[in-house]
């Protein structure tokens, strides 16, 4: 019997590919770059399953090019704003993501950005490497305290909660906003639910963990930045378009806020003009989940979903559950 075929749009850990090969005919994009839309359409033609990345837009055009045999597209990410959910449901294609296994690494990177910005680590590191250090000085590279400061969490989901728990180690006061309140977590960790305006006004460090959906596009823009403290730091390891990057560059240039730490950008891999010239921002290229353990676990979920669906079983992490009711 011919094996079902799976396409993997970018190299992922070999262990994950090996697992797939035990069951299916597997083709992997060997070039270390995202595929263009035309290439994606061509490569997906006739495939039964796909492991996709955030850089792959899975919409009606791509699904139609793939053909009616396509059963599942498993995103190698927890976010799935690259999926057209309705188009896939209409075509009976199951879509999955990889929640839960990257909370720790993403929250750790979030905290790394927070600490790096507070203590001006990249700037100080560059200064020393550039041979500019003349010796210890009392008013030199003055940063911000983190201990006992107020951490504001926008979106208290899996990652937001993990960041809040880490903040307890710094004795931080935790406030959060979300579309739903979590009283159990409030009791466990000592967090306080506030509205968005209070979050903006009271946070010393404001960290964003909302998904990218129409309601959260430019969740932080010019108006919100003006409401924040002049000494506040904004951290974004959610999705780039959650922040209006042009407005952020302006706010940082005009010192409306103290600084920012960014893992994600509106037009990746491009970043807004002026951003990289600023000292009061720490920028890293979307590496929040980039640890080998995390990447293996993300791959394992995607592979497991594909095995289950192609065997006619239920996937573990479906993001368009309406398709399962059909
Ligand atoms: N930088 C990275 O590499 C990286 C890695 C993992 C996840 N992410 C991003 O982080 C996001 C969060 O991941 P998660 O696993 O914690 O998701 P999650 O679904 O567990 O949590 C999201 C939270 O945001 C809340 N929310 C939704 N809309 C909101 C709104 N308008 N206002 C306030 N709160 C709102 C939800 O109720 C939920 O509690 C993902 O959607 C993904 O885009 C980025």
CA atoms within 13 A on the CB side of 302: 30
pLDDT for res 32: 86
Q: At residue 7, what are phi and psi to the nearest 5 degrees?
A: -110, 135
pLDDT for res 186: 98
Instruction: Give the distance (Å) from ligand 1 centre to CA of residue 211.
Output: 4
Q: Give the separation between CA 232 and CA 70, rounded to whole angstroms.
A: 48
Q: Give the separation between CA 72 and CA 308, rounded to whole angstroms.
A: 10
Residues with active-site annotation:
239, 268, 286
pLDDT for res 297: 98
Work out the number of other CB atoms within 10 angstroms of the CB of residue 5: 17
Give, using CA atoms, the residue closest to atom 43 of ligand 1: 79
Q: Give the separation between CA 40 and CA 248, rounded to whole angstroms.
A: 33
Q: Give the separation between CA 324 and CA 91, rounded to whole angstroms.
A: 12
pLDDT for res 326: 82
Weakly modelled stretches of the chain, pLDDT under 70: none
pLDDT for res 228: 99
pLDDT for res 1: 73
- Domains of the chain (ranges plus CATH)? 5-101+292-325 (3.40.50.720), 103-283 (3.40.50.720)
Tens digits of residue pLDDT in 129-153: 999 999 999 999 999 999 999 999 9
Give, using CA atoms, the residue closest to atom 18 of ligand 1: 157
Give, using CA atoms, the residue closest to atom 17 of ligand 1: 157
pLDDT for res 152: 99
CA atoms within 13 A on the CB side of 319: 24
Residue to probe by mutation, ligand 1, list 113, 157, 219, 240, most atoms within 8 Å of CB: 157
Collect all residues with Cβ–Cβ distance below 8 Å to 287 and sequence separation of at least 6: 109, 263
Q: Please, what sign has the CA dihedral across residues 186, 212, 281, 248?
A: negative
At which residue do the structure tokens 């979106």 appear? 155
What's the token pair of residue 239?
């999705």
Work out the number of other CB atoms within 10 angstroms of the CB of residue 148: 10
Work out which ligand 1 atom sits closest to the CA atom of 105: 5
Using CA atoms, how far residue 140 sits from 8, 106, 131, 137, in Å, is 50, 31, 15, 5
What is the pTM assigned to this prediction? Answer: 0.95
pLDDT for res 187: 97
């Amino acid at each position: 019997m011919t094996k079902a075929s799976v396409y993997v749009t970018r190299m992922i850990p070999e262990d994950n590919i090996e697992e797939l090969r035990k069951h299916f005919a597997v083709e992997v994009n060997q070039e270390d770059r995202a595929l263009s839309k035309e290439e994606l359409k061509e490569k997906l033609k006739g495939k039964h399953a796909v492991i996709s990345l955030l850089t792959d837009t899975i919409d009606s055009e791509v699904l139609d090019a793939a053909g009616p045999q396509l059963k599942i597209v498993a995103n190698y990410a927890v976010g799935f704003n690259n999926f057209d959910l309705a188009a896939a449901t209409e075509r009976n294609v199951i879509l999955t993501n990889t929640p839960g296994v990257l909370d720790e690494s993403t929250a750790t990177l979030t905290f790394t950005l927070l600490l790096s910005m507070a203590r001006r680590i990249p700037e100080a590191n560059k200064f020393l490497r550039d041979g500019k250090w003349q010796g210890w000085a009392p008013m030199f590279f003055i940063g911000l305290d983190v201990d006992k400061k107020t951490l504001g969490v926008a979106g208290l989901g899996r990652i937001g909660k993990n960041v809040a728990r880490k903040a307890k180690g710094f004795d931080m006061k935790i406030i959060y906003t979300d579309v739903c309140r979590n009283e159990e977590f409030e009791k466990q960790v000592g967090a306080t639910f506030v509205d968005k305006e209070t979050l903006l006004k009271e946070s010393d460090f404001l960290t964003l963990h909302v998904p990218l959906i129409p309601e959260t596009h430019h969740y932080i823009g010019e108006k919100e930045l003006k409401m924040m403290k002049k000494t506040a730091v904004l951290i974004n390891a959610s999705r780039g378009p959650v922040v209006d990057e042009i407005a952020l560059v302006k706010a940082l240039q005009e010192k409306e806020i103290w600084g920012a730490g960014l893992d994600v950008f509106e037009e990746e891999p491009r970043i807004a003009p002026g951003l990289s010239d600023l000292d009061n921002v720490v920028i890293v290229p979307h590496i929040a989940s980039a640890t080998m353990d995390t990447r293996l676990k993300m791959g394992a979920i995607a592979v497991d979903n594909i095995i289950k669906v192609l065997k006619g079983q239920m996937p573990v992490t479906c993001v368009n559950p309406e398709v399962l009711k059909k």
